[in-house]
Amino acid sequence: MTKDKLLPKKSPPNKAIKSIQYDLFRQFVTNDPDSVSNTVELWESIPKYFFTPKQVQKLRTPTGHANPYKQPYSFRGMDCIVTIQPALIEQKDGSYKAFFPSVTEELVEEALKKILTDQNYGIHDPSKTETWVKFSLSMIERELRKREKTRSREQIKQAIQVMSRCILTLSKGKKELWSGAILQDLVTVDREEYIEDSKALHVARLPLFISHAIDKLEYRQFNIDRHMKLRTQLSRWLYKRFVHRYKQASMIDTYHFMFSTIKAESRYLEGKTERNNRLKIIKALEELKNQGVLMSYTAQEIKEARKVIDVKYTVTATLEFRTEQKAANAAQKNRQNELVDKSSNK
């Protein structure tokens, strides 16, 4: 991934840009386009939304500020570190308090990526590898309510501020790979008041990871309705992992993963004991069963003497999930074929 240093603020394009890649990003294989969206594995792999209110409170100083937080993680065997510089948000009494991105920001990002698939609200410039999304607080509110993740406009407003002011820095060893906000170059389009009018359109540039994925067709269709109904971050994270890695889901082809891998990659296993962490995975798998993703699962403990040192989980997909994965595979193949056809006809 190209290093994207913090540069002077960019301005969104003045008009729509014709882009084959963006047109393909908006195309789905489904009878209900409103129920599906796209997910970018490399961007999703960065642990940025795992903070809890209790954890954030511990990170704050007596004045309400907080130092950047460093979080190591693994992605497909590659060891990385993300440094998260918190956003300072002004409070009603005039003081400033540090906020790290958490659950609400995670859900708002999903809403924005769904809004991006509407041609009236998305702009992709392949010549600059830039993607912009237009939105209003009302649009995000409606999208979240529709997905049963209702948030107030005040919560959404703060989430947008956190996402635009919090800075992520991704490193591998001592090499810095990328630095930027979750929402970059945030500007108000229709009114001068900053993020105050709930119906005013705003525009922001999405991270390079998403723009690059749109250019290279490196994203995957998934059921956003099913995803948003899941109650925990771990369940949602596991679901997207299955979407990206359990592509040939069938009655015969199962998928397995290790407890140690999930702990290294997800950052959602912060229980006091490993027993509690293993219980969290079982609860997440149960929820995925209840939501029609998994038909069954097994957990095989790996021991040294009497001590559990790891667990191997094996899952089998439901008919619904198998059907969704086949549609996602078809969508991916269609995009690749269409891009080749349109490129050859230029």
* 47-97 pLDDT, tens digit each: 999 998 889 999 999 999 999 999 999 998 899 999 999 999 999 999 999
- Name every residue whose Cβ is closer than 8 Å to that of residue 93 and which is 6 or more positions away in sequence: none
Q: What is the mean pLDDT of residues 318-338?
A: 96
Compute CA distances 203 → 51, 63, 167, 218, whole Å. Answer: 26, 32, 18, 24
How many other C-beta atoms can be found within 10 angstroms of the C-beta atom of residue 345? 6
Q: What is the mean pLDDT of residues 269-281?
A: 91
Q: Of 165, 161, 152, 153, which Cα lies nearest the Cα of 194?
A: 161
The three-class DSSP label of residue 297 is: strand
According to DSSP, the residues that pair with 83 across neighbouring strands are 70, 169
Please calculate the CA angle 25-30-32 and round it to the nearest 5 degrees: 100
Q: What is the pLDDT of residues 204-249, one digit of tens each?
A: 999 999 999 999 999 999 999 999 999 999 999 999 999 999 999 9
- Spell out where the chain has E strands: 36-39, 69-75, 78-85, 87-90, 96-99, 122-125, 130-135, 167-172, 175-181, 184-188, 202-205, 220-223, 255-258, 294-304, 307-317
Contact 144, 224 (CB under 8 A): no
- Name every residue whose Cβ is closer than 8 Å to that of residue 298 and which is 6 or more positions away in sequence: 313, 314
Dihedral, CA atoms, 30, 35, 37, 41, nearest 10 degrees?
-100
Q: What is the CATH number of domain 233-321?
A: 1.10.10
Residue 46's region, left for phi above 0, alpha for psi from -120 to 50, else beta, is beta
Contact 220, 339 (CB under 8 A): no
Rounded CA-CA distance 249/142 in Å is: 33
Rounded CA-CA distance 219/25 in Å is: 8
> What residues does CATH 1.10.10 cover in the chain?
233-321
Rounded CA-CA distance 61/342 in Å is: 56
Q: How confident is the model at residue 1 (pLDDT cuts 50, 70, 90)?
A: very low
Tokens of 152: 């107030």
Q: Which residue has the higher pLDDT, 284 or 15?
A: 284
- Name every residue whose Cβ is closer than 8 Å to that of residue 341 and which is 6 or more positions away in sequence: none
Contact 80, 161 (CB under 8 A): no
Note the pLDDT of residue 189: 65
Q: What is the pLDDT of residues 103-151, one digit of tens each?
A: 999 999 999 999 999 999 999 999 999 999 999 999 999 999 999 999 9
Per-residue pLDDT for 3 more than 50? no
Contact 5, 307 (CB under 8 A): no
